[in-house]
Amino acid sequence: MNIFESIILGIVQGFTEFLPISSTGHLIVVSEFMGIKQTAVTKAYEVIIQFAAILAVIINYKDKFTLKKIELWKKLILAFIPIGVVGFLFAKQIKTLFSVEVVAVMFIMGGIIFLIVERYYKKKEHEINDIEEVSYKQAFLIGLAQICALIPGTSRAGSTIIGAMLVGLSRKASAEFSFLLALPVMCATTAYDLMKHYNDFSDANLTVLAVGFVTSFIVAYITIKLFLRFLEKFTFVFFGVYRILLGVLLLVLI
């Protein structure tokens, strides 16, 4: 992998990780079209750019990382448990789903679901706008929805946002809960991949890794802020349409 490829993948990771359009799906598609083969070294690179995205959330929500917010983190850990258990038990089966074809189909299905949810979504009188008001039951239900993200192309952010909206959170609160819920999920997967591929870092180009890290962090940091501003005025319909069009395009190209 060269610096140009590192920048492109860093941008893709940083921009798509927290949007409901599947970062994994986009990385698979972009890597496929750029001819980047999945090797131990590229896997080590993915660990680095994922860690950069984690850091972007921490910087954006540094006020949530205090002992006063322990209740919020209890709920986030509870929401993490379903995907943690299912992902661990069926890791081998999940890996067999990693293909452009599966990603394309899930792009379309996810887009249709977003359009349906937005069609019938109405602001409620007691809608939750502050993520700290989320109940344990709501957190667990959001966690169950997140299990769908194990299928490439579904989108972790998309699954959690849809789940959050269905249990009574506003669009903005749904996105923010999804941002923070990404931390235990990404920390677990990054730690696992790091232990599995730590030897491969010695074979990787440190400059390429550094460029990818910085690119992913900057893009993710900016994307989080812009996404929240977007949700103050618009709905998720755009993302639903985008997913469907991209999924159809991929199927045609395949």
Reported as a single tens digit per residue, the pLDDT across 208-240 is: 889 999 999 999 999 999 999 999 899 999 999
User: Taking CA 172 as the corner, what is the angle to CA 215 and CA 186, rounded to the nearest 5 degrees?
Assistant: 45
pLDDT at 203 (0 to 100): 59
pLDDT at 170 (0 to 100): 93
Greater model confidence, 127 or 111: 111
Greater model confidence, 34 or 80: 80
Residue 41 has pLDDT above 70, yes or no: no
Residue 169 has pLDDT above 70, yes or no: yes
pLDDT at 200 (0 to 100): 60
Reported as a single tens digit per residue, the pLDDT across 2-17 is: 899 999 999 999 999 9
Give percent of the chain with pLDDT exceeding 70: 94
pLDDT at 202 (0 to 100): 60
pLDDT at 135 (0 to 100): 96
pLDDT at 62 (0 to 100): 93
Reported as a single tens digit per residue, the pLDDT across 79-95 is: 999 999 998 898 888 88
**Alpha carbons 3 and 19: distance in angstroms, whole number:** 25
Mean pLDDT of 146-166: 93
Long-range contacts of 114-118 (CB under 8 A, 24+ apart): 114/20, 114/158, 114/162, 114/236, 114/237, 114/239, 114/240, 114/243, 115/237, 115/240, 115/241, 115/244, 117/162, 117/165, 117/166, 117/236, 118/235, 118/236, 118/237, 118/240
Ranking 46-50, 66-70, 128-132, 143-147 by mean pLDDT, the lowest is: 46-50
Burial (0-12, 13-18, 19+ Cβ within 10 Å), 215: buried
Residue 126 has pLDDT above 70, yes or no: no
Residue 22 has pLDDT above 80, yes or no: yes
Residue 205 has pLDDT above 80, yes or no: no
Note the pTM of the prediction, 2 decimals: 0.89
pLDDT at 253 (0 to 100): 87
Number of domains in the chain: 1
Reported as a single tens digit per residue, the pLDDT across 170-200 is: 999 999 999 999 999 888 877 776 677 666 6
Average pLDDT, the chain: 89
User: Taking CA 233 as the corner, what is the angle to CA 174 and CA 129, rounded to the nearest 5 degrees?
Assistant: 35
Structural domain including 47 reads 3-253
Residue 99 has pLDDT above 90, yes or no: no
